[in-house]
Amino acid sequence: MTNARSAFLSARSFAAAGALFAGTLLASSDAARADGRLEAKYTLTVGSVELGRGSIVVEAGDTAYEITGAARVTGVLRAVSSGKGAAASRGALSGGKMVPRIYAMNAEADGKAETARIAIAGGAVKEMDVEPPLKPLPDRVPLTPDTLQNVIDPMSGAFIYVPGTADLLSAAACDRSIPVFDGRQRYDLKLSFLRTEKVKTEGYAGPAVVCGVRYSPIAGHRPTRYTVKYMEENKDMQVWLVPVAGTRLLAPFKVSVATMIGTAVLTASSFETQEKTGTVPVSAPRP
C-alpha cells in the first residue's frame, strides 16, 4: 500500500501538482476582464481502484488568469493514509505565454504539513518560503539562481496557452517544454504531439489534443533515488488537453502516468467551461 500512496503522490505531482489543488484568492480593485471560466472535477484511479479526487477553477481574460484547485485522498488509501491539499496561482498572459506572479500551496499527509509560497517576476523566482525547508543532502542537485530563471509554477504549468488565431488543437499545442519550479524541484516537462481524439464527460464533448510527456529533472532532486530514475526513464505519460471556452487556454482533461503498480489515470468527471464577462481578481493567492 506504500507503493499505492507513492503512485497517488507521483500522479498528483505530474498533473501538475498543481492542476488539482485549490485555494482562495482575495479580490482587489486591480482586475482584468474575464473571458472564460472553467470548473472541473477529477478522479484518480489505478486500474479500477479509486485513489483520489480533485477539482479546479480557472478564470482567464485577455491579460490575466487565476487558477485554484483542491485534492484529497479517497478510496482504499484512506484506510492507511490521509492526504489533502490546496493551491492557487495568479499571473499574466503576455508575450505569447503564461507569466506567473504568485503561487501558493499547502498540503497535509499523515499529519505532516508542507507549504510553499513563491513570488515570480519576469520568469525568475524573487521570493519564496517553503516549509519544511529542503534539506541540503550530499546527493541532492542544488538549486541555484541560474536554475530559478525562466520558470513557471506547477499549476500554471498544467495549462497550455496558445496565442494568436491558429487552431488550438493542432500539433503545435504539444510542441513545447514546460520549465516547472514547485518550491522544491526544478524540472522540465517535455511535450510531443501524439494524436487528436474525441472525449466526453459531463459538461464537455468534443476534440482533445493528446501529448506525450517526458520528465527531465534539473535541480532540487536526488539523481540516485529510484523514483527519480523511474520517472526520468518513463516513456508512458500522456496528457489530453481541451479548450477553455472564451480563451486561448488548453486545460488537462485526462492524464495517464505509468507507475510501478500500474497506470495511474486522472480523468475529468465533469468539465464545465463557458465564455463570460466579468473580472479576474489579481490579489495574492492565500490557500
Query: Does residue 269 lie in a domain region?
Result: yes
Which pTM does this prediction carry? Answer: 0.85
Q: Which domain holds residue 34?
A: 2-281
Residues in the chain: 287
Quick check: is 287 in a domain? no
Q: Which stretch of DSSP H or E encloses residue 135?
A: none
Taking a C-beta distance cutoff of 8 angstroms, is the pair 35, 59 a contact? no
Q: Return d(Cα 97, Cα 159) in angstroms, integer.
A: 11
Question: In this structure, which amino acid lies at residue 42?
Answer: Y
Asked if residues 20 and 264 have their Cβ atoms less than 8 Å apart, the reply is no
286: in domain: no
CA distances (Å), 239 to each of 93, 126, 193, 204, 244, in order?
22, 30, 10, 17, 15
Residue 110 confidence (pLDDT)? 82
Structurally, how many domains does the chain consist of? 1
pLDDT in the model for residue 278: 55
Domain annotation covers residue 207: yes
Q: CA distances (Å), 241 to each of 74, 112, 248, in order?
A: 25, 33, 12
Identify any residues that bridge with 37 across adjacent strands, giving them in sequence order.
59, 274
Contact assessment for residue 231 and residue 260, using Cβ atoms and an 8 Å cutoff: no
Whether the ω angle into residue 100 lies within 30 degrees of 0, i.e. cis, is no
Phi, psi of 147 (to 5 degrees): -75, -10
Q: Where are the alpha helices (DSSP H) in the chain?
A: 2-14, 226-233
The long-range contacts involving 275-278, CB below 8 angstroms and separated by at least 24 positions, are: 275/35, 275/36, 275/245, 275/246, 276/34, 276/35, 276/36, 276/37, 276/246, 277/33, 277/34, 277/35, 278/33, 278/34, 278/37, 278/59
Instruction: Render each residue's pLDDT in the chain as its tens digit; 287 residues.
Output: 334 334 434 433 433 333 333 332 333 333 445 589 999 999 999 998 999 999 999 999 989 999 999 999 898 766 666 789 999 999 999 988 999 999 999 999 888 899 999 999 999 999 999 999 999 999 999 999 999 999 999 999 999 999 988 899 999 999 999 999 999 999 999 999 999 999 999 999 999 999 999 999 999 999 999 999 999 999 999 999 999 999 999 999 999 999 998 999 999 999 999 987 655 443 333 33
With respect to residue 29, please indicate whether it lies within any of the assigned structural domains.
yes
Is residue 113 a contact partner of residue 132, using CB atoms and an 8 Å limit? no
| 173: amino acid identity, one letter | A
Whether 124 is covered by a domain: the verdict is yes
268 residue type, one letter: A
pLDDT of amino acid 166: 86
Query: In this structure, how many other beta carbons lie within 10 angstroms of the beta carbon of residue 115?
Result: 16
Q: Show Cβ contacts of residue 134 under 8 Å, excluding neighbours closer than 6 positions.
A: 140, 143, 184, 220
Res 109: pLDDT: 86
Nearest in space to 194 (alpha carbons), one of 248, 236, 247, 249? 236
Helix (H), strand (E) at residue 200: strand 186-201
| Ramachandran region, residue 229 (left: φ > 0; alpha: ψ -120 to 50; beta: rest) | alpha
* CA pair distance 4, 18, nearest whole angstrom: 20
Alpha carbon 225 to chain centroid distance?
Answer: 23
Question: 281 and 26 in contact (C-beta within 8 Å)?
Answer: yes
Assess if residue 37 is contained within a domain: yes
